[in-house]
Structure 1
Amino acid sequence: MRERVAVVVVTFNSAAVLPGLLESLPLGLEGLDWTLVVADNDSADDTVTLLRSRAPQAVVLEMGRNAGYAAGINAAVRSAGEFSAVLVLNPDVRLTAGCVPELLRVLRTTRAGICVPRLEDSHGELILSMRREPTLVRAYADALLGATRAGRIAALGEVVSDPERYDVAGSPDWAEGSTQLIDGTCWTACGGWDESFFLYSEETDYHLRARDLGFDIRYVPTARAVHLEGASASSPRLWSLLVANRLRLFRRRHSALGGALFWLAAVLREGSRSVLGHAIARSAVSVLVRPSLLAAPRGPEWLERV
């Protein structure tokens, strides 16, 4: 099958950031055969109207509810027709010229199942997007030293925090999921994204599953994209969801004892930051000590209970 890229975007009240993404697609995908499929999670703003006026060629799926990020990706891929690769993009991403052809080149010349570019923020600053697999040692080092300091040592840090590592190609265990090119064979082997993760940890789960099946995750510094980034670091509810899903993913892949020790590391990390006055950490602690919240589905209704 000739190369055909399914460009998949999930939107939720994204009217303010979506035009910039749409404008960047032709240059970022120049020379490739591609189709844009957007799954909208019941936006209350003008997202769908904007899409139909500015991207009339796009397939727009109205989910009818806020189904979550993974569910939106899966629905969009099912509606994409034939493809040789899937490009998953957040609506607040801007591709630079030649980004996706370069990712595709690496995808086809290596053992990679997923390729990710160098990410920068709106000020041109490097985003630390490469990650190592969560472990107990890394969880406690993060709690005691902080993610940036711990990340300078591979055994201690989940976040690859040495900026020099981003100047060369790499093979992280997983990577920040705002911009990623997934090989069609990898997608078929792994299946869809896990929809039980409403938001956060879904890309971690997917990348680790791909690696379990023998696919590499490749960081490609010669491909570049801009990510405006979301609000998880400033929203108590979203941060609590992020922390809860990290715990749930670790419990899924490890023993009950390992899960309990990871929970303790999370309490230590968020509790110490709560003492220092961080509101988002206080919210996370309140979730971590409430078994009913840790056990409940993590969707809009869950967020209302936080």
Structure 2
Amino acid sequence: MSISEVTVAVVVVTYNSEELLPDLLTALGPGLAGLSWHLTVADNASADGTVATLRRLAPEATVVEMGRNAGYAAGINAAVAAAPPHTAILVLNPDVRLKPGCVETLTAVVGTSGTGIAVPHIVDGAGALIPTQRREPTILRALGDAVLGARKAGRYAILGEVVTDERRYAHETVTDWAEGSTVLISRECWQRCGPWDESFFLYSEETDFALRARDAGFVTRFVPDARAVHLEGDSRHSPKLWALLTLNRVRLYRRRHGLATTAVYWLVLLGREVSRALLGRQTSKAAVRDLLRPAKIREVPGPATVHSAG
């Protein structure tokens, strides 16, 4: 498909994101230069002026007011459903700033060599690399993370889920999945593998989608020439968010493995969080409390328990 035939549905989920919108919207034009695109935003019942600011700064955008904090996956699904006709879907966090030409570079690889999902090279606000490539969760990788820490374990494919070797970010490559702040999905991949699983509410929904896409024959491709900045959220500092992230890792693993191996995976994660809780980390203390409550792992989180992305 030529660039002239591409129409991108830019999909953003907001939750109290008013302060992030001006810079997000300013970067969309250069980031999507050369492409036909439209913006659809699903707002998860923001209590600030997110919707009013959006309507003022981007009156041409389609706005879906969810009426409740429905979660990240639900917002994405609602926005895709409401978007005008398109050939590709760009899932974008409100705290992402696209660099010029980012999306055109991604569209050049989507649909080629089995690529259903394309992701860019992402740095943080200070310009440091964010390691976004991920390997499929395994017991050994969870153990490597628990013993060595994510950064050291990630240097070795067998031991780390997060790909931390910076040399792996210099060249185009296939990855099992990638963090979900900036993801371009082909229409064919979405039609065969979508929607995103709303039961995760927040965290692991992008993992689940990418692994299901891989099962269906679509790969996730990292494209280093496409660039973006992610200001990042606060899951590492919020006890509720860290506990949810940890619980959803167990829930995702259970969906793809038997009960016995899931029990081992759960035990490894529990050991990791206990070891860090003993060092005084409040995030790990919250994760331990929830991991020891089986009902929490089975529970579908909702707005009463955690805030969604944005």
Q: Same fold (TM over 0.5)?
A: yes
Distance apart, 1:233 and its partner CA: 0.5
Question: Structure 1 CA distance, aligned partners of 2:121 and 2:220?
Answer: 13
Residue 166 (structure 2) pairs with residue 163 (structure 1): yes
Residue 285 (structure 2) pairs with residue 291 (structure 1): no
Q: Which moved more, 1:140-149 or 1:36-45?
A: 140-149
Question: Structure 2 CA distance, aligned partners of 1:170 and 1:114?
Answer: 12
> What secondary structure is seen at the aligned counterpart in 2 of 1:249?
helix
* Aligned position for 2:271: 268
Normalised TM-score (structure 1): 0.98
Letter in 2 for 1:64: G
Higher RCO (CA < 8 A, seq sep 6+): 2
1:92-127: CA deviations, max 9, x gaps? 000000000000011144320000000000000000
* Aligned position for 1:98: 101
1:253-304: CA deviations, max 9, x gaps? 1000011001101101100001111110011000000122222221222349
Residue 68 (structure 2) pairs with residue 65 (structure 1): yes
* Aligned position for 1:258: 261
Structure 1 stretches of 4+ moved >6 Å = none
1:237 to 213, 236, 240: 240
Normalised TM-score (structure 2): 0.96
Distance apart, 1:246 and its partner CA: 0.6
1:178-198: CA deviations, max 9, x gaps? 001000000001020001010
RMSD after superposition: 1.1
> What secondary structure is seen at the aligned counterpart in 2 of 1:299?
coil
Residue 96 (structure 2) pairs with residue 85 (structure 1): no
Alpha carbons 1:296, 1:302 under 8 Å: kept: no
Residue 57 (structure 2) pairs with residue 75 (structure 1): no
Question: Structure 1 CA distance, aligned partners of 2:287 and 2:111?
Answer: 41
1:226 to 210, 225, 229: 229
Question: Structure 2 CA distance, aligned partners of 1:80 and 1:21?
Answer: 19
Alpha carbons 2:194, 2:209 under 8 Å: kept: no
* Aligned position for 1:26: 29
Question: Structure 1 CA distance, aligned partners of 2:151 and 2:129?
Answer: 13
2:205 to 196, 202, 206: 202
1:128 to 127, 131, 134: 131
Alpha carbons 1:134, 1:158 under 8 Å: kept: yes
> What secondary structure is seen at the aligned counterpart in 1 of 2:28?
helix
Report sequence identity in percent.
58
Distance apart, 1:31 and its partner CA: 1.1
Question: Structure 2 CA distance, aligned partners of 1:276 and 1:4?
Answer: 50
| Structure 2, gaps ≥5 residues long | none
* Aligned position for 1:49: 52
> What secondary structure is seen at the aligned counterpart in 2 of 1:301?
coil
Letter in 2 for 1:257: A
Residue 115 (structure 2) pairs with residue 112 (structure 1): yes
Question: Structure 2 CA distance, aligned partners of 1:253 and 1:130?
Answer: 20
Letter in 2 for 1:11: T
